[in-house]
Amino acid sequence: MAGERILYVCFDPALLLLRERVLIALGFDVYTILGRDGLIGTREINDYDFILVGDEGTLQERQSSVKRLKEEELSPPPIIALCRGAEDMPGADYQVSTAEPRNWFDAVSDCIRRCRRPA
């Protein structure tokens, strides 16, 4: 898993560094952007192996971000959406609940293992 590139779309500056550091500690190369504005300015999303959409923004912001990512590229990298409870994130390839904070990092790692692109 080491070295896989994650584009992390975070909506809360207070959580940005904490979550980014944990992902880096797990062995990922992480490029973090802040919210929808950061997403609009991001080019070449296919340079990333996975996209992680955080659960910090409003449901509408996050759903809009997933929709934009899917519309922007013909074949975008797999999108993993962090969700609070039973939220629905149409277009996301995987949805991971953050109800158990200790477990969601493992769930994200598991999703990445299962949906790796062939070399």
DSSP 96: E
Residue 116 has pLDDT above 80, yes or no: no
Can you give the pTM of this predicted structure? 0.87
Does the residue 64 lie in any domain?
Answer: yes
Does the residue 67 lie in any domain?
Answer: yes
- The whole-number average pLDDT for the span 25-39 is 88
Burial of 70 (0-12, 13-18, 19+ CB in 10 A): middle
Does the residue 95 lie in any domain?
Answer: no
Does the residue 87 lie in any domain?
Answer: no
Residue 41 has pLDDT above 60, yes or no: yes
Full domain range(s) for residue 3: 1-30+37-48+58-73
- The whole-number average pLDDT for the span 6-25 is 90
Q: What is the residue-averaged pLDDT of the chain?
A: 84
Does the residue 2 lie in any domain?
Answer: yes
Q: How many domains does the chain have?
A: 1
Does the residue 6 lie in any domain?
Answer: yes
Does the residue 14 lie in any domain?
Answer: yes
Residue 111 has pLDDT above 80, yes or no: no
